[in-house]
Structure 1
């Protein structure tokens, strides 16, 4: 039932994005955002909890709720806007500026491919489409969607915009395809901002340890491909700006574990910087801090055991 409803919503966004005049498109988006904030109670609660984790010491509850509403509006506008741009690709160059394209071209000139690091921040599908228009061969690493029909729909859209898809499962296929992309001197786009369960490493994210993947950095170390962080945010209405940061190479000093940790810390700090500047552009409905470090769990268990001993005594 949930998947059927999702297909209906996506189908309606596709329809609206194709026929509604640009001036009215964002009014539709804001309406959907209001509806999502009002009725998606579970996701609203997660977003407010996440925002409180990040900004509880610096922002009031009223400010946090305002950012939460803006986040829902942003997600809804991005949804209808995505389909509008897919139906009118000629508008992408007109409305999406790129700052730092020379950084990407300089990195590709090394001939080892590029590991592009970003986040679920702003209209990242639009970022990929815009890079493809710059004659960059772009491939995005992503999870399969739970609904196969929606999965196929979005893969078709990406193919239409000349963006390749590399799925995280099966794992070995993902690894081999990713390495091939880099050896072919193409762009491997990876989002480094989601909870990585018990894998990866724990680094500070808004002052709280968060499980973060190391795979993209391993790819860079294995192939020599530079890491190029890039982000997209809205300037207003349909206008967006892509910022491509200077290339980063993984430090060569220290153990492999130390090099991995330092690179992940540096990239996570950069992601946090952009989220702080544009907090409504990030997907706060994701449980970024769900996984906890082993030592933290052990401490909680020891404290609980201590409580039990006291109670028994």
Structure 2
């Protein structure tokens, strides 16, 4: 995959420039350092994309050959309350393997909020593969309705919160020293339903597997209006996301234009 990643880096000028600009803005690296990290990132992403079809080989009996779960007790404790579980995550490590393996070590179904892939024929294939282990994919446009239904069934719902949001669907939240529009749906649902939110991330180990770290519940703000609490909780989500990225900077999805609406100061 090093060769494939290097070829992608050399040939895809658009994503290369986006990643390098994002890295320089977020991490404050110089041009040479940003190029080096971008090359590592392209190699990592090439590996992740090539591994996508391989997850069909994963079973309840052999999943530990692919992933190493840690911290399941946090999610199990929350599921005992019967309100379901909301999961904060992002395009980090091998997010596809992380989601696919969940039914093999957790008792509740995982629903994944995802933007449909284009073209539709490819989306159908991707969705079938993602759901093969027992998960369910929720199309982004139906996220609210189906998330509420899933929580009533005491299921888990995962949100990848590292994508751009619009002015209607997002709130300006701190991220890498500035502010970016971040989807507020996760915080809004958590505050409305009382469902706990847990951070779940993964990173690649030296042996090629991915360690899945499941953290304790993220506290919800107790004071302020719903709008103020939504903003505060979304800011907490971004802080957690940023911590993960800084720990393993080569394993995030830098090729996305996450900083397209970056502001040094919070907009009025």
Question: Do the two structures share a fold, i.e. TM-score over 0.5?
Answer: yes
The Cα offsets for residues 12-53 of structure 1, whole Å up to 9 and x where unpaired, read as xxxxxxxxxxxxxxxxx2222111101001110010011111
Aligned to 2:201, the other structure's residue is in SS state strand
2:267, 2:211 → 1: CA distance? 41
Aligned to 2:166, the other structure's residue is in SS state coil
What is the aligned partner in structure 2 of residue 37 from structure 1? 9
C-alpha RMSD of matched pairs (Å): 1.7
Q: Which runs of 5+ in 2 are unaligned?
A: none
What is the aligned partner in structure 2 of residue 217 from structure 1? 187
Aligned to 2:131, the other structure's residue is in SS state helix
What is the aligned partner in structure 2 of residue 179 from structure 1? 148
2:262, 2:98 → 1: CA distance? 32
What is the aligned partner in structure 2 of residue 124 from structure 1? 95
TM-score of the superposed pair, with normalisation by structure 1? 0.80
Give, in angstroms, the shift of residue 249 of structure 1. Answer: 3.6
Aligned to 2:260, the other structure's residue is in SS state coil
Given candidates 51, 66, 70, the residue that maps to 2:36 is 66
What is the aligned partner in structure 1 of residue 232 from structure 2? 262
Between 94-103 and 276-285, report the one with greater CA deviation: 94-103
Could you tell me whether the CA contact under 8 Å between 1:37 and 1:72 is conserved in 2?
A: yes
Runs of 4+ in 1 over 3 A off after TM superposition: 88-91, 295-298
2:193, 2:58 → 1: CA distance? 37
1:39, 1:278 → 2: CA distance? 25
Could you tell me whether the CA contact under 8 Å between 1:196 and 1:291 is conserved in 2?
A: no
What is the aligned partner in structure 2 of residue 195 from structure 1? 164
2:220, 2:177 → 1: CA distance? 23
Give, in angstroms, the shift of residue 292 of structure 1. Answer: 5.4
Give, in angstroms, the shift of residue 288 of structure 1. Answer: 0.8
TM-score of the superposed pair, with normalisation by structure 2? 0.93
Q: Matched residue pairs, number?
A: 264
Asked whether 1:138 is paired with 2:107, we answer: no
1:231, 1:79 → 2: CA distance? 17
Given candidates 241, 245, 248, the residue that maps to 1:275 is 245
Shift of the 292–63 alpha-carbon distance from structure 1 to 2, 3 Å rule, reads closer
Give, in angstroms, the shift of residue 61 of structure 1. Answer: 2.0
Give, in angstroms, the shift of residue 272 of structure 1. Answer: 0.2
Q: Whose Rg is larger?
A: 1
Q: Which runs of 5+ in 1 are unaligned?
A: 1-28, 299-313
Aligned to 1:236, the other structure's residue is in SS state coil
1:174, 1:95 → 2: CA distance? 29
1:283, 1:37 → 2: CA distance? 14
The structure in which a higher percent of residues are helix is 1
Please show how residues 204-243 of structure 1 align to structure 2 within 5 Å.
204-243=174-213
Asked whether 1:108 is paired with 2:107, we answer: no
Could you tell me whether the CA contact under 8 Å between 2:172 and 2:266 is conserved in 1?
A: no
Give, in angstroms, the shift of residue 153 of structure 1. Answer: 0.9
Could you tell me whether the CA contact under 8 Å between 1:112 and 1:183 is conserved in 2?
A: yes
Please show how residues 8-87 of structure 1 align to structure 2 within 5 Å.
29-56=1-28, 59-87=29-57
